[in-house]
Amino acid sequence: MTTKKTVKTDPGGAAGEAARTAGGAARDAAAKERRSLLHEMLRIRRFEERCVELYSAAEIRGFMHLYIGEEAVAAGVMPELGPEDAVVTTYREHGHALARGIPAEAIMAEMFGRSTGCSRGRGGSMHLFDAATRFYGGNAIVAGGLPLAVGLALADRMRGADRVTACFLGDGAAAEGEFHECLNLAALWRLPVLFVCENNQYAMGTALAREHAETDLALRASSYGLVAWAVDGMDALAVSAAARRAAEAVRWGGGPHFLEMRTYRYRAHSMYDPDRYRTKAEIEEWRRHDPIDALAARLRADGDLGGDDLAAMDKEIAAEIDGAVKAARKAPLEPVADLTRFVYSERAVRP
């Protein structure tokens, strides 16, 4: 890995070790959890690989930002949230949406701009929304989701609900004013926000060190009085352990927490990006720490993943994605007569 600073592995990562050495039911449960983590990462990757094909075939259009390489973050964080918790995220959010439990079919239909999409086709790749899972987007303005997360958490705080708002952001957001305004406000009011910063090393095409005077984002966050630490974002077990510890602390009144997930995207910033700002060698170096390969190897070594298990997972995932694509192709488009719906609430009576 080429991160400048040493990545501190969260001490909670030791939980995995403990589980491994524990016997019986606890060990089985831990193994199941880890297999499910692997499954989710694979599912996100395969979903996006299919999206690339569909984009090339012009079935998906618009801006599309892929998460490939970063899967450990979404897959590791989401299971640590409860159904009542809220999620606010960025335009690179297919992985978050899938891991949060929005059906693949609804996400794929959204990419196709169909009325069965999770935003009725009005949002597309960058604007996935889902009230049922409290998924508040899908924000395509860098750092634009942070104030929303602060507000959602404020509402929970004022009503005494022990809910967490998970707010995903990229390293680029740390250069925006809203990053500073919101970390300050969240810390000042001790709001239950879990900031999950996906530091994939590039803000669009600009490397971290080219845009930040101080590249240690956890350090910067901690200057606002938040609990903040860096996590190896290519290690799904480390992500999961850190998220568990932070989410619990946030939920029980420990104030906002900030996790800097040090990760990497293998693909370009968006489908339009010729990716001229980094070397192939750099990408290859990160690929050697691929989160899916790493977890699969670990599970195999522990005897928790058999020879054919990964292939079976892949087959099951392919069937799910095939189904989603077929359904999206067949799904109806919104009638043009409904073009102006939802600009204002349909509960409102307008002159």
Distance in angstroms (rounded) separating the CA atoms of residues 239 and 184: 24
Count Cβ atoms below 10 Å from residue 119 Cβ, excluding itself.
19
Task: Determine the Cα angle at 137 with ends 132 and 139, to 5°.
Answer: 175
Site track for another protein across 149-168, x = CB under 8 A: xxxxxxxx-x----------
Q: What's the token pair of residue 166?
A: 């998970």
Choice from 55, 91, 129, 286 touching another protein (CB under 8 A): 129
Residues within window 74-93 making contact with another protein, judged by CB under 8 A: 86, 88
Tokens of 3: 């991160």
Q: For residues 104 and 97, give the distance between their C-alpha atoms in angstroms, rounded to a whole number.
A: 9
Query: Cβ of residue 114: shortest distance to another protein, in angstroms?
Result: 11
Beta strands 202-203 and 206-207: pairing type?
Answer: antiparallel
Q: Which stretch binds another protein (CB under 8 A): 135-143, 235-243, 250-258, 316-324?
A: 135-143
* Residue from 33, 162, 181, 309 binding another protein (CB under 8 A): 181
Give how far Cα 94 sits from Cα of 66, 87, 89, 162, Å: 8, 13, 10, 27
Instruction: Rule CB under 8 A: say whether 177 interacts with another protein.
Output: yes
Q: Does 341 bind another protein (CB under 8 A)?
A: yes
Contacts of 184 (CB under 8 A, 6+ apart): 224
To another protein, the closest distance from the beta carbon of 309 in angstroms equals 37
Contact map string, positions 33 to 72, toward another protein, x by CB under 8 A: ----------------------------------------
Q: Is 192 in the site for another protein (CB under 8 A)?
A: no
Cβ neighbours of residue 340 closer than 8 Å, sequence gap 6 or more: none
Residues that bind another protein (CB under 8 A): 86, 88, 117-123, 127, 129-131, 136-139, 141, 144, 146-156, 158, 177-178, 181-182, 184-185, 188, 341-348, 350-351
